[in-house]
Structure 1
Amino acid sequence: MKQKLSIIKIGGNVIEDESELSRFLSAFSAMEGLKILVHGGGKLATQLAEKLGIKSQLVGGRRITDEESLKVITMVYGGLANKNIVAQLQANNCNAIGLSGADGNTIQAHKRPVKTIDYGYAGDVDGINANTINALLTSGLVPVFCAITHNGKGQLLNTNADTIASEIAIGMSTLYETTLYYCFEKKGVLLDIAKDDSVVKHINTKSYQDLLDQKIIADGMLPKMENCFHALNKKVSKVCIGDISMLQPNSTLFTTITL
């Protein structure tokens, strides 16, 4: 039987709220077993870009990463956000190590091809280096990945953090029984967006289609759910979506997704 590994992606609204971030990192540190954390920091990057006079461009919620934007993203994701998280984890007796995909050649990607929109230096993941990540885990370290990858030719790339978390869970599933957690400000997938406790506790392939038909799952939740089922179809054990309380041992109010 494979050992269990948890991959947790933290949402931007949690990162930007100091008290919520502190609460999350405390809960994350208390989780037993092997674990990996993935984070973004898009709003922080946008705020810094504005201060530097760099205009941020978003199309359909996705960032256009030009040369100047990439510099800001690298500073914020790989620097400010990542090191702040790592330092706070150390304060919680969690021996974390901050990484981008370039570190240890852990996440390889390619620049997204131009179709109708040129996303600039946006990266789509080709694969992860499971052996290197495993070496960190087995040495007692907790990897903390920011949303930056590389193309193996010296070019850093901005990559969606949900996708990175999904691809890490897929890549590590050859060695471990992997569970992917998407942790954000809501308690899970909701039947009614206005009611925080209207959580859909379990979704599978059939019920997902029903929720799509009823337009209960729509807009920003769609790409997240696509990542979930992509991971499940690539041998990830299960995917969970919820708020910080989901990480606590006796929690039941969150969404679990299986095939």
Structure 2
Amino acid sequence: MKQKLSIVKIGGNVIENKDALAKFLALFADVIGPKILVHGGGKLATHLATKLGIESKMVDGRRITDEETLKVITMVYGGLTNKNIVAQLQANNCNAIGLSGADGNTIKAHKRPVKEIDYGFAGDVDSVNSDIISKLLEAGLTPVFCAMTHDGKGQLLNTNADTIASELAIGMSEIYEITLYYCFEKKGVLSDITDENSVVQHIDSIKYKQLLKDGIIADGMLPKLENCFHALNKKVNKVCIGNTTMLRPESKLFTTITL
């Protein structure tokens, strides 16, 4: 029987709020068993870029990563945000280690090919080094991944944090029984966007098709759900979407997604 592994992705709205981040990290530290945290930090990167006179360009919610933007992202994601999270986890008695995909050759990617849009130094994941990551977990360490990968040729790449969480879950699923958690500001997938408590508590592939047809899953929720089903189709056990309180053992109001 496989050991259970929790992989948690935290969004920018929590990272930007000092109090919310502190509460989340206390909850995350209390999660029983081996665990991995994945974070972005896009809003802070945009703020710093503006201060430095670097224009931030976005297309359909995805950042165009030119050479100067990549420098800012490396500073914010791999430096300030990552090390702040690691330090706070240490304060919560969680022995964390901060990583990018380049560290330990844990996540390799390739530069996204130019089609209609040139995303610059944006990376699409090729492989996850489950052997190295499992060794860290076995040593009692909690990996904290920022949203950066590398191509194995010396080039860092900006990679979507939701995608990194999904690919880590897939890569580790041969060794562990995986639950993937996407934490964001809502309580889950909502059947009525105006009602915060209208959480769809369980979605399978049949329910998903119906929600798409009814237009309930749309806009920014679409790529998130696509990531979820991509992971499930690659042997990840289940995916949960909700706010940070879903990490509490007694919590019931969030969305669980299965095949």
TM-score class, shorter-chain normalisation, is over 0.9
- What is residue 218 of structure 1 aligned with on the other side? 218
When the two structures are superposed, what TM-score results if normalisation uses the length of structure 1?
Answer: 1.00
Residues 123-162 of structure 1 aligned to structure 2 (within 5 Å): 123-162=123-162
Task: Using the aligned pairs only, state the percent identity.
Answer: 75
Shift of 1:132: 0.3
User: Matched residues in 2 for 1:138 and 1:221: separation?
Assistant: 34
Which letter maps to 2:41? Answer: G
User: Matched residues in 2 for 1:42 and 1:256: separation?
Assistant: 26
Shift of 1:203: 0.2
* Corresponding residue SS for 1:110: strand
- What is residue 57 of structure 1 aligned with on the other side? 57
User: Matched residues in 1 for 2:55 and 2:10: separation?
Assistant: 25
* Corresponding residue SS for 1:113: coil
Moved over 6 A (4+): none
- What is residue 86 of structure 1 aligned with on the other side? 86
- What is residue 24 of structure 1 aligned with on the other side? 24
User: Matched residues in 1 for 2:34 and 2:196: separation?
Assistant: 30
Cα deviation 1:127-186 (Å, max 9, x = unaligned): 100000001000000000000000000000000000000000000000000110000111
- What is residue 10 of structure 1 aligned with on the other side? 10
* Corresponding residue SS for 1:108: strand
User: Matched residues in 1 for 2:202 and 2:19: separation?
Assistant: 29
Structure 1: unaligned runs, 5 residues or longer: none
* Corresponding residue SS for 2:133: helix
Shift of 1:191: 0.7
Aligned pairs, how many?
259
* Corresponding residue SS for 1:78: helix
Which letter maps to 1:247? Answer: L
User: Matched residues in 2 for 1:255 and 1:43: separation?
Assistant: 26
C-alpha RMSD of the superposition? 0.4
- What is residue 40 of structure 2 aligned with on the other side? 40
Shift of 1:39: 0.2
Shift of 1:37: 0.1
Cα deviation 1:26-62 (Å, max 9, x = unaligned): 0000110110000000000000000000000000110
* Corresponding residue SS for 1:194: coil
* Corresponding residue SS for 1:22: helix
Shift of 1:194: 1.5
* Corresponding residue SS for 2:126: strand
User: Matched residues in 2 for 1:61 and 1:143: separation?
Assistant: 27
When the two structures are superposed, what TM-score results if normalisation uses the length of structure 2?
Answer: 1.00
* Corresponding residue SS for 1:217: coil
Report the more deviating stretch, 45-54 or 186-195.
186-195
Which letter maps to 2:119? Answer: Y
Which letter maps to 1:6? Answer: S
Shift of 1:120: 0.2
Which letter maps to 1:204? Answer: D
- What is residue 170 of structure 2 aligned with on the other side? 170
Structure 2: unaligned runs, 5 residues or longer: none
Cα deviation 1:95-145 (Å, max 9, x = unaligned): 000000000000000000000000000000001000000010000000000
User: Matched residues in 2 for 1:169 and 1:38: separation?
Assistant: 11
User: Matched residues in 2 for 1:123 and 1:200: separation?
Assistant: 32
Which letter maps to 1:211? Answer: L
* Corresponding residue SS for 2:225: helix
Which letter maps to 1:180? Answer: L
Which letter maps to 2:101? Answer: G
User: Matched residues in 1 for 2:36 and 2:196: separation?
Assistant: 27
